[in-house]
Structure 1
Amino acid sequence: MSNLIVNTTDATFEQDVLQSEFPVLLDFWAPWCGPCKMLTPMLERLAVQYAGRVRIVKLNVDDNPETTKRFQIRGIPRLMLFAQGELQSAQVTQSQAGLTVLFDNISKPAGVVATAAATAASAPAAAPVAAPAGAALAASVVPSFGGDPARKADYLQRLRAATFDGDHSPSESVTTSAGAFAGTTGGPEGLGQLLDVVWWLNYYDPARKAQAHDRAVSLIEAIPVGIDLNRISLLMANWLLHDPETGIACQAPTDVARALCDRLAALHQRELDGERVPESEWSVLQHDVVRLAPPPVNPDHAGAAAAPALSPEQKFLAVLEYGTMPLADAGLNNLFNIVYGRTLNLEIERSGCWSAEENQQYQSVYEATRDALSSALGERPADEDAEAAAQWDERSKSIGAQVQPAIQKSHPELQARRDAVERFQKALGSRVADAVQAQFLAQCAAVATR
């Protein structure tokens, strides 16, 4: 973790947060929280970018119950903003674009950001700051498998012998002398996580579960020795967002939304062409998207009465905000969730098989049922007591498996409709997994022939 990010505790919270001379973004997290880990690279980038202007502080909710209870944290990750000793926002966006705009606004005099954006938008286009074609990407080139066919053969042998499951995904379950996925293949961790998604979507579908393992191995097998997997990662990110048939612009509901998608695609293409896109251009686009997107909903005040109705454009821009960043910053998991989640929601909406009201009802029933089943579980022990924490995790997992059968007895019709939605989701997931797999294989083959 960046040394610019501070780890605070119940004992040091006042000094680290409330007495800070800079605005503070406070990140409530825990080591076991997957989404919390996904935020870390973005927060590290922002900590460097805004050093001396905004402070980023993390608090482990498991080790610091006093502060966690003080701010009534029920779910993580949770970001809050403090300034001059006061809580400014109890719910802060988790998008890089949104945080960039927020940090610009709170760390500059009023009007500076708006004036800069307006000036950039109206001024004649300046000559782009560019490196020779490919130079921006060439600096990070690492040949796959270190250029060693024996390393690939060893990794494949270990993968074929490994067992993958919900706790052991392909990219995390096998380690060689060079490390896990990133160390062995030379590719970024995000690429391994995307390949994990392909495996998981097959594993999640009972009809394909038996073949999921072999599919995962075949993806690694298809990577030629010596190619640039960082380049492949950027190409996959660009495809996820901008494919003419499935990309996010296909779902844009208005001309304004489509224009923003086009501007994003243009900046991403310049990245792929080897150009270093000026930070000021990213800032203008991020401000334009965030200005039109709805603010994040405070979960402490969630509900039909509290949450305003959103237009189709606002719903779309709330999703686009999470993809408005350089390809080099965008996690493939993040982009996959953007495209897949948006596509799933739209297809469910069009099919009429599940309504927002039913979803809200099911969530309420699910939480009430789980709370009832978990009433005797108590709080999770601290990680220092590894045996007790592991036992608690096992009991919690067992309770999780009991929730749907309990709902089946108490609300049979609601659970039957939910089951139908899950079948719909699995079918879409299988199609998406096939598309990602085909694109990855095509990109590997194309790069190998250059």
Structure 2
Amino acid sequence: MTTHFIDTTDATFENDVLRSTLPVLLDFWAPWCAPCKAMAPMLERIATQYEGKLRIVKYNIDQSSDSRARFNLRGVPTLIAYRAGKELGRQAGVSASGLKLLLDALLSGPETHVDPGTRTFGNDPARKARCVARIREAIADGRLDGKQEGDGDSLPSTIASGQMPDGDRLDALGLPPAIDALYNHLYEMLSDSPDGTQFAADFLNAVPVGVDLSAIARDYLLWILNDLLDRTPLEDEATPLLAKLIQLHRLESNSDAIPPAQWEALLARIKEKLNTVDGHSAVILTTISPVARPASSIPPAAFFPLIQTAVSLAVIHVASTWWTEEEAEVFDSTNRSMAPFMKSLGPRPEETEALAEYERKKQQFIDDAWAKAYSICPTLEKQRQLRLDAIVKTGHNTRTSHAQYLLGRVAEV
């Protein structure tokens, strides 16, 4: 373990995290978690870059059987930002845009206030020209091609502003926090194709000089909530609560004052229902609970799971009409057979030889299972690949639609 990180335990957690005099980025990880290992180089760079300004503390969830419930973790890796013992925000999964939000919260200072009325590019056309030029330069030299492993320093808004490693900005973009976060996140989600690079350039070009974009985050929130409602079956137990949430946000967008008690009552109903449902209903309710509040108080990171849930709902029924009953049954039974085998393999080992044997056994089982399925149902192999291709295409098209909405809405201002 690098000396830049601190390994904490249940016994030392209070001293390492809650009583730390420096802001803390707490990394929940596990030895068997491949994404956790992928995130390690990003955390290493951050620890070096911000040495003396924050501390990175790592918590191995395998050390405690109740860690997931105690810290309300949905999975690993999960990063939580703490200052003075209080949680400022969290990010699940490997996301440079989410990581940037946590760093901004940790390093901005406890009294920082972002004025939602800040004018784009400081009302200065020359500043916009410099910011756009930096994006074009980054595209030309490959820093925005989506292939490099990066952290917050390789995201469009950071590059465009000319932000230095010590956090100083040469040219603030003047974007509200949620719009800045969405600019980065949508680029990141599309960065596996040329669409990501194109979006990074097109968005900044579309932002007018000297305007207030604070209303766009609220409009986008209503757009994505309605998209979720359209994709959720009427009989789903999450549907009435999602519809009520849309109603409150729509009233608020029309300048109606929503009493705090109404937001609190809706959030209580969402949490109560979460205790009785699972599957897609639970995913939707978990996703919308952070936005059951006035739009002005919604943290930017709350938009990320909304996008992910919209994408997952879009692909869940992709190409279902391609399956015959026989193909569907063979496909489902093959997938079901995977779970007990994966469980029998146990935790993913760290040792090189043991890990190689683990991966060999896993891949051999998967190959054998699908070979058996293809022998039972000869049409399955082609249909499975067609379905997988359609899922990838649908997911990408859904993410692109979010980028297109944001671009179109910005251009209307």
What is the TM-score when the length of structure 1 is the normalising length? 0.54
- The answer to whether the 8 A contact 1:145-1:152 is kept is yes
Measure, in 2, the Cα distance between the counterparts of 1:148 and 1:403: 61
Measure, in 1, the Cα distance between the counterparts of 2:317 and 2:393: 15
Measure, in 2, the Cα distance between the counterparts of 1:193 and 1:411: 42
Alpha carbons of 1:419 and 1:154: their partners in 2 closer, same or farther (altered >3 Å)?
A: farther
How far off its partner does 1:259 sit?
A: 3.1
The residue type paired with residue 269 of structure 1 is R
How far off its partner does 1:419 sit?
A: 5.1
| Correspondence for 1:432 among 383, 394, 398 | 398
| Correspondence for 1:340 among 293, 296, 311 | 311
User: How is 1:140-179 mapped onto 2 (pairs within 5 angstroms)?
Assistant: 140-162=116-138, 163=142, 164=144, 165-166=146-147, 167-168=149-150, 170-171=155-156, 174=159, 176-177=161-162
Alpha carbons of 1:311 and 1:441: their partners in 2 closer, same or farther (altered >3 Å)?
A: closer
> What's the secondary structure of 1:219's corresponding residue?
helix
| Correspondence for 2:216 among 229, 232, 244 | 232
Unaligned runs of at least 5 residues, structure 2:
1-5, 20-25, 30-34, 40-54, 76-113, 375-380
Measure, in 1, the Cα distance between the counterparts of 2:250 and 2:340: 44
Deviates more, 1:270-279 or 1:147-156: 270-279
> What's the secondary structure of 2:69's corresponding residue?
strand
The residue type paired with residue 70 of structure 1 is Q
* Structure with greater contact order relative to length (CA < 8 Å, sep ≥ 6): 1
How far off its partner does 1:240 sit?
A: 1.0
What does the per-residue CA deviation read over 1:309-328, in whole Å, with 9 as the maximum and x for residues that have no partner?
A: x5875665455446534434
Alpha carbons of 1:374 and 1:145: their partners in 2 closer, same or farther (altered >3 Å)?
A: same
Measure, in 1, the Cα distance between the counterparts of 2:307 and 2:368: 35
- CA RMSD for the aligned pairs? 5.0
How far off its partner does 1:376 sit?
A: 0.9
User: How is 1:195-234 mapped onto 2 (pairs within 5 angstroms)?
Assistant: 195-204=183-192, 209-210=193-194, 212-234=196-218
How far off its partner does 1:418 sit?
A: 6.7
Measure, in 1, the Cα distance between the counterparts of 2:206 and 2:401: 16
> What's the secondary structure of 2:161's corresponding residue?
coil
The residue type paired with residue 292 of structure 2 is T
What does the per-residue CA deviation read over 1:211-242, in whole Å, with 9 as the maximum and x for residues that have no partner?
A: 54233211221111122233222221221112
Measure, in 2, the Cα distance between the counterparts of 1:160 and 1:367: 48
| Correspondence for 1:80 among 61, 69, 89 | 69
- The answer to whether the 8 A contact 1:201-1:429 is kept is no
Measure, in 2, the Cα distance between the counterparts of 1:367 and 1:419: 26
Alpha carbons of 1:234 and 1:376: their partners in 2 closer, same or farther (altered >3 Å)?
A: same
User: How is 1:347-366 mapped onto 2 (pairs within 5 angstroms)?
Assistant: 347=318, 358-359=334-335, 361=337
Measure, in 2, the Cα distance between the counterparts of 1:364 and 1:182: 55
- The answer to whether the 8 A contact 2:274-2:285 is kept is yes
How far off its partner does 1:407 sit?
A: 7.6
- Size of the alignment, in residue pairs? 315
Alpha carbons of 1:311 and 1:332: their partners in 2 closer, same or farther (altered >3 Å)?
A: closer
What is the TM-score when the length of structure 2 is the normalising length? 0.58
Unaligned runs of at least 5 residues, structure 1:
1-6, 21-26, 37-57, 82-89, 95-137, 297-309, 380-395
Measure, in 1, the Cα distance between the counterparts of 2:240 and 2:161: 46
- The answer to whether the 8 A contact 2:318-2:387 is kept is no
